[in-house]
Amino acid sequence: MQEPISIQEFSSRLTKNVSRVIKGKEDVIRKVVVCLLCGGHILLEDIPGTGKTTLVKTLARSVGGSFTRVQFTPDLLPSDLTGANIYNQKTQEFHFKPGPVFTNMLLADEINRATPRTQSSLLECMEEGQVTVDGQTHRLTPPFFVAATQNPIEIQGTFPLPEAQLDRFFMRLSMGYPGAESEREMLSAFQESSPLEELKPVLSTEDILAAQKQVRKIHVSQAVQDYLLQIVAATRSHDQIRLGVSPRGSLAFLRAAQAWAGLEGREYVLPDDVKAVCCDVLSHRIICKGSHLSQTTDTVRPILEKILEQTPVPMESPT
């Protein structure tokens, strides 16, 4: 039986392949890889045209398995995502017709253009890996990864994601504008043809599942766990924060730190790994006082960075 590839090799293959299309965004790509390794889902938030959809398509092409893209619109119904029971006149029975969520990788494009009712239909899929229609439960085939894109709330015709749905996303990232040199490389790469069309898979779904198991085995000492929990506790008592990080967020924080340590080639977590993933995992799980659900990551990041500065770093050996 072939040995599973290491987490470092997994990350290297995927990052290198995606970087053939997405230029100058290695940090964003690396964090998307962390989400995939942790079995989480990702929310990419930015203005139109910055490469959010292209990033997810490139990721899907790099990984063997099924991929579905759904364009979210105000008239999209929950059954358009989950599927429905259809009556068959020949057999005189109802048969379940699976919706687009029955895939390995789902691109929920412009998720905040759909109504809250349709947005909420993804909750069970994302949290439990299953769909319940008319009282009957249907399991999704792992790995199941949701990558959602979102335009800023200020753009007309959007619906803010409720806190319960935001908490289901493992990370919220922003692509941002590329640097001048990266944009020049992009123009050259796409001038005659699209490198996305020529991209081949470099990993399989079995590789993903095996890597996810490896992440969970990465050691987290009691001292590092306590350090992580002190950061979480600080978000719940901070005088500028109305809603702090939930226990689900604490677990995501731990998983992300494990994955980051794996990307660095270690079998144990350091406080630096906790710091590296803190803002991207926690920022969308916090609501500041005087703010609302549409607050940006930039609103919360300075507060989290201050909490990191004020939280004592453990000096004990991580092993």
Compare 49 and 27 and report the one with higher pLDDT.
Answer: 27
| Residue 151, pLDDT above cutoff 80 | no
The reply to whether 194 falls in a domain is no
Domain identity same for 266 and 137: no
- Residue 232 domain flag: yes
Helix (H/G/I), strand (E/B), else coil: 134: coil
Q: Which residue has the higher pLDDT, 134 or 171?
A: 171
pLDDT band of 318, cuts 50, 70, 90? low
Q: Are residues 182 and 292 in the same domain?
A: no
Do 225 and 182 reside in the same domain of the chain? no
Whether 287 maps to a domain, the answer reads: yes
Q: Last residue of a domain, which of 169, 186, 203?
A: 186
First to last CA, the chain: 30
Q: Which of 144, 168, 186 is the last residue of a domain?
A: 186
Q: What is the pLDDT of residue 276?
A: 96
Do 158 and 223 lie in one domain? The reply is no
Residue 292: what pLDDT?
58
Residue 116 lies in a domain: yes
DSSP H/E element including 241: strand 241-243
The answer for residues whose C-beta is within 8 angstroms of residue 180's C-beta and 6 or more apart is: none
**For residue 23, what are the domain limits?**
7-186
**What does residue 271 show for φ and ψ, rounded to 5 degrees?**
-55, -30
* pLDDT level of residue 9 (50, 70, 90 thresholds): very high
Cα 28 to the center of its chain, rounded Å = 11
Residue whose C-alpha is closest to residue 4's, from 262, 260, 251, 273: 262
Report pLDDT for 156.
Answer: 67
Average pLDDT, the chain: 89
Q: Does any domain span residue 138? A: yes
End residue of a domain, out of 133, 168, 186: 186
* 25 CB-contact burial (10 Å; exposed 0-12 / middle 13-18 / buried 19+): buried
pLDDT of 248 reads: 93
Residues 181 and 226 in one domain: no
Q: State the pLDDT at residue 315.
A: 79
Does some domain include residue 63? yes
**Does 303 score more than 90 pLDDT?**
yes
**Radius of gyration in angstroms for the set of CA atoms belonging to the chain, rounded to a whole number:** 20
The whole-number pLDDT of residue 4 equals: 81
The per-residue pLDDT for 133 is 87
User: Same domain for 146 and 224?
Assistant: no
Give the side-chain half-sphere CA count within 13 A for 315: 1
- The string of pLDDT tens digits covering residues 243-273 is 899 999 999 999 999 999 999 999 999 999 9
- For 188-220, what is each residue's pLDDT tens digit? 877 777 778 888 999 999 999 999 999 999 999
Which SS3 state, helix, strand or coil, does residue 6 take? coil
* 317 found inside a domain: no
Q: 100 lies in a domain?
A: yes
Percent of the chain with pLDDT strictly greater than 70 = 94
The amino acid present at 217, given as its one-letter code, is K
Closest CA to 216 of 40, 3, 25: 40
CATH number, position 223: 1.10.8.80
CATH of the domain at 76: 3.40.50.300
* Phi and psi, residue 64, nearest 5°: -65, 145
Amino acid code (one letter) for 169: F
User: The dihedral of CA 239, 300, 246, 271: what is its sign?
Assistant: negative
Q: Identify whether residues 50 and 117 lie together within a single domain.
A: yes
Helices (H), the chain: 7-18, 26-37, 52-62, 78-82, 116-120, 123-128, 163-166, 180-190, 205-216, 222-237, 247-263, 271-282, 297-310
Domain co-membership, 37 together with 174: yes
Q: Which of 317, 203, 229 is nearest to 270 (CA)?
A: 317
Query: pLDDT by residue (tens digit) across 152-165?
Result: 765 667 788 877 78
Q: Reduced to 3 states, what is the DSSP secondary structure of residue 44?
A: strand
Give the torsion sign (CA, 258, 264, 265, 267): negative
Whether 243 and 303 map to the same domain: the answer is: yes
Task: Give yes or no for a contact between 133 and 83, defined as CB atoms under 8 angstroms apart.
Answer: yes
Is residue 166 domain-shared with residue 283, that is, in the same domain? no
Number of structural domains (the chain) is 2
Tokens 């050691």 — which residue?
219
Which residue in 58, 76, 50, 27 sits closest to 151, CA to CA? Answer: 50
Tokens representing residue 60 in the block: 């899907």
* Same domain assignment for residues 296 and 158: no
Query: Residues 172, 275: one domain?
Result: no
